[in-house]
Amino acid sequence: MNTSIDMESALSPQSISSIDSLAEGIHTTDASSINDNQDQLQHPAHQEHLIKSRQYYRDMILGVNDGLVSTFLLVAGVVGGGMHVSSTLLTAISGAIAGSISMFAGEYIATKSQNEVLEGEIKLEHEHIKRYHAEEMQELARLLTLIGIQSHEHLCDLDTTEIEHNTKTIKLRRRITQYYASNPEALLKIMIALEFGVIDDEARSPIVAGGTSFILFILGALPTALPFAFVDTTTTGLIISAVLCGVCLFVVGAIKTWATRGKWYCAAIENLLITAAGGGISYSIGLGFDKLVG
């Protein structure tokens, strides 16, 4: 009798419904887990942006690349011209020192000048917002359209779904416009970001820019200059320098793609080809000069 009651309870509509709900929940959980695993397999690991150093990446690449290339081309030219080992070493060292100082001075002055120009533009923009607020709001409206926040003028020839989406965009655009219209300081910041392409976190320091180029130029010159301190002939020194310089250029080209996310071998080969062509030209000019004046 008790068994019959238990069976009837177990097979009641409420119990069956509960079991079906539990099974559905388990199925949904399993499906969700499978989808999560598939997403992890399909999507690579999250990569962070180069926020802290990307404004100086140009200085890094320019400094080390210029140190490698210009010093090697200088040495190739004087070796082709028949210069002795000690004189070639002195030329390489002098070229490295002069080049690094020139790089520092050039980057320092250029970055400082650019910052001063930008400061002047920001002051002018501040005056524009203060005196010509309506015109600046029109400019903001144009910039919002450029970054994809469309106005009502773009609703023509759209289907129902697109119109609904764009209607939401227009409401967002109206809220953004109202906020910046009533907040001059915020308006100045967004105009600097959108109009000039600059934010505070990415401002360049003249000292850091110049110092980065200076140090990396010296490091780039070492593979060319050092071999001449340990060899007896300029030909041997030039061969060793060419090999070391080629390896370093290949490595720099490959490292560059760590930030650019490009094909490392393309960047490396490009670096090698440019330097090889330049080295050949410099050496040929040196040979020609030696024959001409010799």
The pLDDT, as a whole number, for residue 51 is 52
Tell me the C-alpha distance between 225 and 240, whole Å: 10
In angstroms, how far is CA 86 from the centroid of its own chain?
A: 41
The answer to whether 69 touches 275, Cβ cutoff 8 Å, is: yes
Note the helical H segments in the chain.
2-10, 13-42, 57-80, 85-131, 133-146, 160-181, 184-191, 206-225, 234-260, 264-293
149 Cβ contact partners less than 8 Å away, ≥ 6 residues apart: 169, 172, 173, 176
Of the listed ranges 161-165, 232-236, 261-265, 270-274, the least confidently predicted one is: 161-165
Tell me the C-alpha distance between 157 and 165, whole Å: 14
Q: Between 240 and 39, whose confidence is greater?
A: 240
The answer to whether 104 touches 211, Cβ cutoff 8 Å, is: yes
The answer to whether 224 touches 33, Cβ cutoff 8 Å, is: no
Q: Which of 68, 69, 89, 67 is nearest to 79 (CA)?
A: 89
The pLDDT, as a whole number, for residue 5 is 39
The pLDDT, as a whole number, for residue 64 is 92
175 Cβ contact partners less than 8 Å away, ≥ 6 residues apart: none
pLDDT tens digits for range 19-56 = 445 444 444 444 444 455 555 545 555 556 555 566 77
The answer to whether 96 touches 72, Cβ cutoff 8 Å, is: no
pLDDT tens digits for range 137-161 = 998 888 888 887 777 665 555 555 6
| HSE-CB for 205 with a 13 A CA cutoff | 7
In angstroms, how far is CA 37 from the centroid of its own chain?
A: 31
Structure tokens at 44: 């690579």
Q: Between 253 and 90, whose confidence is greater?
A: 90
Tell me the C-alpha distance between 98 and 121, whole Å: 34
Distances (CA, A) of 124 to 133, 190, 256: 13, 15, 37
Q: Which of 242, 198, 203 is nearest to 80 (CA)?
A: 242
The pLDDT, as a whole number, for residue 23 is 46
pLDDT at residue 60 above 70? yes
Residue 158 phi/psi, 5-degree rounding, is -115, 150
pLDDT at residue 232 above 70? yes
Tell me the C-alpha distance between 284 and 289, whole Å: 9
Query: For 262, which DSSP code?
Result: S
Give the CA dihedral 130, 134, 138, 141, nearest 10 degrees: 80
pLDDT at residue 80 above 80? yes
pTM: 0.70
21 Cβ contact partners less than 8 Å away, ≥ 6 residues apart: none
Task: Please give the mean pLDDT across all residues of the chain.
Answer: 79
Query: For 103, which DSSP code?
Result: H
pLDDT tens digits for range 164-179 = 666 777 888 888 889 9
What sign results for the dihedral spanned by CA atoms 222, 251, 256, 65? positive
